[in-house]
């Protein structure tokens, strides 16, 4: 595979709510009504506008299924938009978890493509409360980034956000 796509991938360590990418991705739950982890942090930092828009989406389509994604504004966040995707619960790895996780990334990029979003930052979807092993999730994330960027012009840039040093190293292992 050419180097060009991977030059559009950045790995950073830190708090995703501080990033001024065009969109940040939320590891939401299917209710879209907020929760703990990165979901709670995004709603706290972004303010009530994000939840109000999530409630409108719920009224329209009844939440969001695992592997799918929806988009709202970013409220008071530096990012203009939040893409909410629902990752799979880890259940031993034989319940379609890798496909569902890959679908989260692809669904999020599909929204980035449709909305021509320049840059999109992802947390480690499912790797917190949902229990997906971080190493395996990092492998899925980097594989999906490569495949998507090789075939699509949008988003221009993808940022994989590691909350801790261990996650950063796991991402970097997959990126030469």
DSSP-H helix ranges across 75-133: 97-114
Smallest separation, CB 4 to ligand ADP (Å):
27
Closer residue to ligand ADP (CB): 41 or 80: 41
Closer residue to ligand ADP (CB): 5 or 41: 41
Smallest separation, CB 7 to ligand ADP (Å):
23
Smallest separation, CB 151 to ligand ADP (Å):
26
Residue 39 bears catalytic tag: yes
The token duo for 168 is: 């950063």
Interacting residues toward ligand ADP by CB under 6 A: 15-17, 27, 37-39, 41, 87, 123-130, 161, 163
Start-to-end Cα distance in the chain: 12
User: Which one of the listed residues 3, 15, 39, 99 is annotated catalytic?
Assistant: 39
For residue 58, give every residue at least 6 positions away whose Cβ sits within 8 Å of its Cβ, in sequence order, or none: 31, 32, 33
Token match 């719920």: residue? 58
Tell me which residues are annotated as active site: 39
């Amino acid at each position: 595979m050419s180097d060009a796509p991977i030059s559009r991938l950045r790995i950073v360590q830190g708090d995703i709510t501080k990033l001024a990418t065009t969109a940040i991705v939320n590891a939401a739950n299917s209710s879209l009504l907020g929760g703990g982890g990165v979901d709670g942090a995004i709603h706290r930092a972004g303010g009530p506008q994000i939840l109000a828009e999530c409630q409108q989406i719920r009224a329209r389509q009844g939440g969001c299924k695992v592997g799918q994604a929806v988009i709202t504004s970013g409220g008071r966040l530096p990012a203009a938009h939040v893409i909410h995707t629902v990752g799979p619960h880890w259940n031993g790895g034989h319940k379609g978890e890798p496909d569902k996780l890959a679908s989260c990334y692809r669904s999020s990029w599909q929204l980035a493509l449709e909305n021509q979003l320049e840059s999109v930052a992802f947390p480690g979807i499912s790797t917190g409360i949902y229990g997906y092993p971080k190493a395996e999730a990092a492998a899925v994330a980097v594989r999906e980034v490569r495949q998507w960027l090789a075939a699509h012009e949008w988003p221009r840039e993808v940022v994989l956000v590691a909350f801790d040093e261990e996650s950063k190293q796991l991402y970097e292992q997959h990126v030469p």
